[in-house]
Amino acid sequence: MNAKRPAKKAAKKAAPQAPQAPQSPEKAPAASKYPSKRLIVPSALQGVENGKLPSKLLRPVKCGGQMYGPAAEAFNAMYDQATISGIKLRNIGDYRSYEAQLGLFKQRYATEDGGRKPQVTRTWNGKTWYLKPGMSPSSTPGKSNHGLGLAIDLDVTTQKVLDWLCKNAPTYGFYLQTSDTKSPEFEAWHWQYVG
């Protein structure tokens, strides 16, 4: 995939139920440091079914979409600071219902190995599912931090945006899920609220 290809075009190939991130993380823009931190589900979301958040727990984010209330508040503060800094944050994937997660999963994974290197697998409904070539990973349905309103995918096709996020997002509680660019799970666009 061409790293300069707009995320909007990549999003059109994703499941119609939700906006999506670029399909393959193979050529993420380089940054000097990728901040990552392990996500811990907030106590207020313990016992809430992933992908079935009540609307009272969701709040709008300023670039469109919605997230879990405290995550949305933190994101909106970050959005305001980014705007002041001349950075345009564009949402390409926010809260995902269970149905949207299922559609995305079935679009990206198959029960037969298509030869993707490196291969990423998921176990779902008692079967091993293989990530299709050219696709970026997604969680199994009901396991996504998008389904808890804790993650947002942002258009990072410009170096300026990615550099700004890497430097400033942790101030607002947002981190990448891994800083290892060689990991098939590395997604420079996927920012999760850790608080």
Asked if residue 141 is part of any domain, the answer here is no
- pLDDT tens by residue, 29-76: 566 689 999 999 999 999 999 999 999 999 999 999 999 999 999 999
Asked if residue 182 is part of any domain, the answer here is yes
Does the model's pTM come out above 0.85? no
Asked if residue 114 is part of any domain, the answer here is no
Asked if residue 95 is part of any domain, the answer here is yes
Q: What is the CATH number of the domain that holds 60?
A: 3.30.1380
HEC string of 52-116 equals CCCHHHEEECCCCCEEEHHHHHHHHHHHHHHHHCCCCCCEEECCCCHHHHHHHHHHHEECCCCCC
Asked if residue 157 is part of any domain, the answer here is yes
In 3D space, the residue among 151, 154, 164 whose CA is nearest the CA of residue 81 turns out to be 164
Asked if residue 119 is part of any domain, the answer here is no
Number of domains observed in the structure of the chain: 1
- pLDDT tens by residue, 20-34: 444 443 445 566 689
d(CA 105, CA 129) in angstroms, rounded, equals 9
- pLDDT tens by residue, 127-150: 999 999 999 899 999 999 999 999
Q: Which domain holds residue 178?
A: 7-104+147-193
Place of tokens 């290197």: 117
